[in-house]
Structure 1
């Protein structure tokens, strides 16, 4: 790592936080077994792409799965909240997750065409910008920059389990405000809501919901960004109204009916894709715009989502 990146991270996060996060990253990266919330990490197994490719070819599904991975859908999710300030009625959030930009150039070009000129009030990115979980990330940053060039207004992001914290200075230089256990205020007129984001909770386990929620006044409307939805209990009991996440890919390779063969997450299957509810918190798990391990999808099309916030029950 260059001294310039270290200096910027220390200035951004403080020397202790920066060195701790970098140390954890070095200790954990590319491990197949152990660490994180799950024991086996398919994305770190070097044979995984070949095994999946061969299996799909034997079933005659490989080329269809490749084409599916390029066909990104735009989904709409309207959600109502009694606690939402009236000034934010109709407030629309563009939610993009799991880009894995260096895995599928055709899919990313399609994404760029989809978001160009799209209307929304805020854009959030919920992690996993890189294809692999380790190694160089320059190609990732180039790909993110191309997508970012077509996005408008304020953009906020969090890191995923595929991402290095070393990417943060370059992403913030592009105009993407990275939330690392932090919170920002979103203002409309004389009313406000709070947007918090946590660092990766799945593999590196460096999330701190308590720190992210600390600036939020009691009773204020709040949204939390987390790469993984696996911390839904902690987020709900911290009184967040809305949780936006990704990570699961909805299974990516699913049986008919979008039934995932493997979810790569420790949580109820109903929370593995789309809208869900837990206690008083509403959640949404994006199946992602990109693909992991191999650029293939079956019965689980990639997506970006427009969340429209509405007042009322």
Structure 2
């Protein structure tokens, strides 16, 4: 009888946790804020709004309204690290949700769910560290999401495409040099050996997935701020423990938030990994890991 009560209590607790994660926390959108001391002493602060992993469905009106309201923050720059879509018809909802933010200077890269519709995945394989990348290279699928139309919409409003390329913007009186890559999770990234622009006030690396090969290369080349998403912060976390998986080779201790990354012999880079705003429609649950956007204030 006692064992039955214990098992019954554990089952009830598990059901309550699933209900919380699927009905409440997955919609508990949160704005995180960090100060990042990467500018020269005395510099005016620059505010970056980091968006990632919206995984938008046309029906997600609450998420769209919350995103539209972020324009009230009046950031100096928007950085979008990909996985905007989760449905072939979601592009109008994405563009409406970003709304006035598309008139703010911005840069972007794509993730796998800007190219390919989500598919069901084995959660055990995910928790054991499986990446979902096909053996021998990128997924052998034909893209079915409107990524080219989204690219045209973003660049048409002034956002800069960083897909395997360099560019620069002057924001808040600071000259920012950027390098970006296509999604490392798909092995689409093309890394070069071009050092960070020594004439820039700050060099920033932008990627969807924070794979160590990308982080290491950019740290050694002098990029002092790196922004990424992809991990969902672990998505299913344990209180006081944190993420159980990152869906890449980044350690779970840095699955989300502001950290540093350093290759021995080089100055450390600041790294922000967004826990993102959405989930796959096949796993619409978060636990101890709220959906988020982040306002990074770059300071002297």
TM over 0.5: yes
Q: Note closer, same or farther for the CA distance 1:86–1:258 as it changes in structure 2 (3 Å cut).
A: same
Counterpart of 1:150 (choices 100, 107, 110) is 100
Q: What is the alpha-carbon distance in structure 2 between the residues aligned to residue 113 and residue 189 of structure 1? A: 22
Q: CA RMSD in A?
A: 2.6
Conservation of the 8 A alpha-carbon contact between 1:87 and 1:191: no
The answer as to 2:43 corresponding to 1:61 is no
- List per-residue Cα deviations over 1:158-215 (Å, max 9, x = no partner): 0112222751343332424321111221225875121222101112x1212317x46x
- List per-residue Cα deviations over 1:223-279 (Å, max 9, x = no partner): 011001112112211211100111001111111126223321212222211111112
Counterpart of 1:77 (choices 34, 37, 42) is 34
User: Please, which moves more after superposition, 174-183 or 285-294?
Assistant: 174-183
Structure-1 residue corresponding to 2:8: none
Structure-2 residue corresponding to 1:46: none
Q: Note closer, same or farther for the CA distance 1:191–1:259 as it changes in structure 2 (3 Å cut).
A: closer
Q: What is the alpha-carbon distance in structure 2 between the residues aligned to residue 69 and residue 102 of structure 1? A: 14
The answer as to 2:177 corresponding to 1:194 is yes
Q: Note closer, same or farther for the CA distance 1:91–1:299 as it changes in structure 2 (3 Å cut).
A: same
Q: What is the alpha-carbon distance in structure 2 between the residues aligned to residue 103 and residue 255 of structure 1? A: 30
Q: Note closer, same or farther for the CA distance 1:107–1:244 as it changes in structure 2 (3 Å cut).
A: farther
Q: Note closer, same or farther for the CA distance 1:56–1:276 as it changes in structure 2 (3 Å cut).
A: farther
Q: Note closer, same or farther for the CA distance 1:287–1:261 as it changes in structure 2 (3 Å cut).
A: same
Q: How many corresponding residue pairs?
A: 247
User: For structure 1, which runs of at least 5 residues remain unmatched after alignment?
Assistant: 1-54
Structure-2 residue corresponding to 1:307: 296
Counterpart of 2:220 (choices 237, 243, 248) is 237
Q: CA deviation at 1:58?
A: 5.9
SS in 1 for 2:113: coil
TM-score, structure 1 as length reference: 0.71
Task: Give the alignment of 1:278-293 within 5 angstroms.
Answer: 278-279=261-262, 280-292=268-280, 293=282
Q: Note closer, same or farther for the CA distance 1:258–1:249 as it changes in structure 2 (3 Å cut).
A: farther
Q: What is the alpha-carbon distance in structure 2 between the residues aligned to residue 295 and residue 115 of structure 1? A: 23
Structure-1 residue corresponding to 2:147: 167
SS in 2 for 1:208: coil
Q: Note closer, same or farther for the CA distance 1:209–1:89 as it changes in structure 2 (3 Å cut).
A: farther
The answer as to 2:269 corresponding to 1:275 is no
TM-score, structure 2 as length reference: 0.74
Conservation of the 8 A alpha-carbon contact between 1:85 and 1:192: no
